[in-house]
Amino acid sequence: SSNVFSLNKSKSISTTNPKASHNAISFTSEGEEIVNKIIKALAENDVLEIGPVIRLPHVVEILIRLQKCPKLALKFFNCIETQLKLKPDLQSFCIAIHILTKARMPSYAQELLQQALHAGFGPTQLIFDSLVTTYKDCNSTPFVFDLLFKTLVQSGLVGSAVEIFRSMKTIGFMPAIETCNSLLSALLKENRRETLWVIYAEMLRSNIISNNYTFNIMINALCKEGKLKKAKEFLKDMESMGCQPTVVSYNTVIHGFCKKGKVDEGLKLLSVMSGKDICPDVFSYSSIIKGLCKDGRVQEAIGYLSEMTEKGLMPNNVIYNTLIDNYCNKGDMKKDF
């Protein structure tokens, strides 16, 4: 079977005396010859023509010996099925993923993770468990779990990503904030706001430090829930935690207030932005102008149109269409345009 080896990190690539580098079960002379032949062929860039005699234990052994040469390890892994006519097992996948991650080849590691997810190995938890089992033996890096997490989110497997988030915590690995943000963003897009807040609370309990992007996601969630007062408080929370709100942070709350017909609250925030030297952008003014027009305050809206153009901002179609619609409804087109 594929788990007959006790995997310890290889200190060098060797085609002889495998016990010098790790504690593996001794091969027969024929098995040792197969391993040596493949490693030599890889090193010499030869086509591999081993035939059906290679088995999964050989695959694991070869990958272990190739830890210091990630490109050769990848080359070997890619030819297991095509040239050696053998289907890699989950252990082989995980060892290769560890090697590539440690070698700072994340795109290649992610490609193998994608393949593993679609190879029919069972629940995602099994892949995680196998990565854990082979982690120390490959002298890997915690980033491998972030890569799995990221791959799950990108594949739309958000529920599995939530499970892996919790599994990582149980073994003492904390996901990077960027990894957590990708999950929060995906949960928000899928409108799974209850889970979103549960994960955010778990992040806080685990002392995972939020950044601007984290706060912007949570502010967006509050605005979608209509909790605008709380969203406004989050802007202050950001500052108390060492994160300066950005124009995106303010725009989200301004848009929320204006959409709810509370344009004066939006105007207050626009003023706060200016006081903090955060320059409003087209989206800031678009929300304010739409809010004012909705409130019947078209002349004020025109004033903000002038203000934004004076600042060198070009009004977008939304702004023009909003103003035109309001003037058409009032019949004042000739008077003001």
Domain count, the chain: 1
Residue 116 lies in a domain: yes
pLDDT of residue 193: 93
pLDDT at res. 18? 35
How far is Cα 245 from Cα 159, in angstroms, rounded to an integer?
30
Residue 224 has pLDDT above 80, yes or no: yes
Q: Which residue has the higher pLDDT, 325 or 30?
A: 325
CB 183 within 8 A of CB 198: no
Indicate whether 314 belongs to any domain.
no
Query: Residue range 83-112: average pLDDT?
Result: 90
* 253 falls within a domain: no
Over residues 90-109, the mean pLDDT reads 94
For residues 149 and 175, the answer to whether their CB atoms sit within 8 Å is: yes
End-to-end CA distance of the chain: 81
142 lies in some domain: no
- Tell me, yes or no, whether 269 lies in a domain: no
Structural domain includes residue 141: no
pTM score of the predicted model: 0.79
Q: Check pLDDT > 70 for residue 194.
A: yes
Is the pLDDT confidence value at 132 over 50? yes
pLDDT interval class at 60 (50, 70, 90): confident
Give the range of the structural domain holding residue 56, as residue numbers without chain letter: 1-135
DSSP 19: G
pLDDT category at 264 given cuts 50, 70, 90 is: very high
Confirm whether 57 is domain-assigned: yes
**Is 59 a domain residue?**
yes
Secondary-structure breakdown of the chain: helix, strand, coil percentages, each rounded to the nearest 5: 70, 0, 30
Residue 102 pLDDT class (50, 70, 90 cuts) = very high
